[in-house]
Structure 1
Amino acid sequence: MIDVEKEYPQIDVIAVGAHPDDVEIACGGTLAKLVDQGHTVAIIDLTDGEPTPHSPGPDVRLSEAMEAAKVLGVNKRITLDLPNRRLFDSFEARVMLAKEFRKYRPNVVIGFGNRTPMASPDHWQAMQITDAAVFYSRLTKWDETFDHLPVHTIGRQIYYKIAFEPIQNVDAPGTFVHDITGCLERKLDSIRCYQTQFPPKKDYIFERVKGAAALIGSMAGYSAGEQFFTTRAVGTPDMMDLLYPETRDYTERNALKRSSVE
């Protein structure tokens, strides 16, 4: 059995995209904020995104992806050897991604949450591959299939949507908005790294991303936000802590208030 703790650093959160730039557009602000909060973060691109109309080749796209990761501050970026434009949910693709989960042992996996009509069908395939890989990561008695990597149970899985896709709910038990007000510009800067995908004639994309962030954020009272969908209903052991997230010392303050009255 491989000693993954020596070979691979543990990653708190892994975000999975079909192509380089998917994750930045969908949840780049969240990843930047998680890094600022001290969490380790990685991005896994299932394909290299090539060919595309305005890119000279995979090396350039990879360089853009690594620069975008640097802007967000993520700790690691991995590109799997799966085919762009021909990405399908297959056993081999599921195993390939599950191996990465077993290596880096994330607590949270973030991935696509729905189809993207009029956009790449790879996105929907990526969702199915990610769902299966989360499950495969914890399956026992299958050692040879996973190169004898130890099993790993991922605690939480959440879904994202591409930021400028139509705003509609994913069929999921719960949803929440993450405040990215302080990280919106870094999100936009990470997307700008993809000059082959977003040349000057596509500058309108950045206004769409900003508009989506403002709209989503406003649903929860933030200046900018990213929306996520959960595989379980959102629950809390402390209602007041949930209702007043901006004052995490709520309980402590009220305990002091009660003691002063007594």
Structure 2
Amino acid sequence: MNKKFDILAIGAHPDDVELGCGGTLAKLISEGKTCAILDLTRGELGTRGTDQTRKEEATDAAKILGIAERENLGLKDGFLVNSEEYQLEIVRMIRKYRPEIVLANAIDDRHPDHAKAAKLVSDSCFLAGLRKIETSMDGINQEVWRPKQIFHYIQWKNIVPEFVIDISEYLDVKLKACAAYKTQFYDPDSKEPVTPIATKDFFESLTYRAQDLGRLSGVAYAEGFTSEKLVAMKNFDGIVL
């Protein structure tokens, strides 16, 4: 049976979503929105930890955020391609969850999988709305569905956002969800190799980036997004003044 979710957050790797838009998801869930996460790969090429530890950490992080459902497509880490095979896998998930909004990887980033995933997800969202592309799940034909908006969160690179979400009351939840990935981020007692995201500075940057976006927008902390199309507002009620 097809579900109906408000938000589907998609990441190339487990932890992408938490890092990029964890505070936004926590806030939306507190407001009664239904949110799911789709991880495209298991992150099996990561220098630290294993695909099994990443799976366990992703489960813990989802609980912290209050995510209703989380799935992993098990695509090939490090080798994401915008292929028909991968597109159809994502089309099935879009038609399964029927989200109004999709949150996807950054349009440009240090890890090549991130920009590839951004384009792959964008194309898949369009294809999911084409009636002549037939898909099924558990032997049941799926109905077409195209999300109304695709927003891209910001990751390693300092992309200038087109809008920000005030996460002032939810930064702590975001940081706790990110810290659930114990093998991936800063741990002074870890014996594993140090990677760019496993430094104390990187983890602290989650706070000072959110603080800087907040400074620019007049709130305490914020997360930034880019949009694939011009965003129209019904009125000014949602703007923080």
Q: Which runs of 5+ in 2 are unaligned?
A: 189-198
Q: Deviations over 1:43-91 (max 9, x none)?
A: 1110000132221x32211000010011111111110020111112211
CA distance in structure 1 between the partners assigned to 2:186 and 2:237 by the alignment: 44
What does residue 224 of structure 2 align with? 227
Q: Does 1:159 align with 2:159?
A: no
Q: Does 1:25 align with 2:19?
A: yes
CA distance in structure 1 between the partners assigned to 2:186 and 2:135 by the alignment: 45
Calculate the TM-score normalised by the size of structure 2.
0.89
Runs of 4+ in 1 over 6 A off after TM superposition: none
The counterpart of 1:131, out of the listed 97, 122, 128, is 122
Contact 1:13 1:40 in 2 (8 A): yes
What does residue 233 of structure 2 align with? 236
The counterpart of 2:90, out of the listed 92, 97, 104, is 97
**How big is the alpha-carbon RMSD for the aligned residues of Structure 1 and Structure 2?**
1.8
Distance 1:98 1:60, change over 3 A: same
Tell me the amino acid that sits aligned with residue 148 of structure 2.
Answer: G
What does residue 213 of structure 1 align with? 210
State the shift of 1:181 in Å: 0.4
State the shift of 1:144 in Å: 5.0
Q: Which has the higher helix share?
A: 1
Contact 1:95 1:145 in 2 (8 A): no
State the shift of 1:114 in Å: 1.7
Q: Does 1:148 align with 2:135?
A: no
Tell me the amino acid that sits aligned with residue 134 of structure 1.
Answer: C
Contact 2:127 2:133 in 1 (8 A): no
CA distance in structure 2 between the partners assigned to 1:187 and 1:113 by the alignment: 18
Q: Does 1:52 align with 2:46?
A: yes
Report which of the two structures shows the higher radius of gyration computed on alpha carbons: 1
> 1:200 is paired with a residue of what secondary structure?
coil
> 2:143 is paired with a residue of what secondary structure?
coil
Tell me the amino acid that sits aligned with residue 34 of structure 2.
Answer: T
Distance 1:205 1:95, change over 3 A: same
Tell me the matched-pair count: 229
Q: Which runs of 5+ in 1 are unaligned?
A: 1-6, 247-262
Q: Percent identity?
A: 33
Q: Does 1:187 align with 2:184?
A: no
State the shift of 1:145 in Å: 7.7
Tell me the amino acid that sits aligned with residue 206 of structure 2.
Answer: V
Contact 2:107 2:119 in 1 (8 A): no
Q: Deviations over 1:89-137 (max 9, x none)?
A: 2111111011000011000001123221xx3211111011101111011
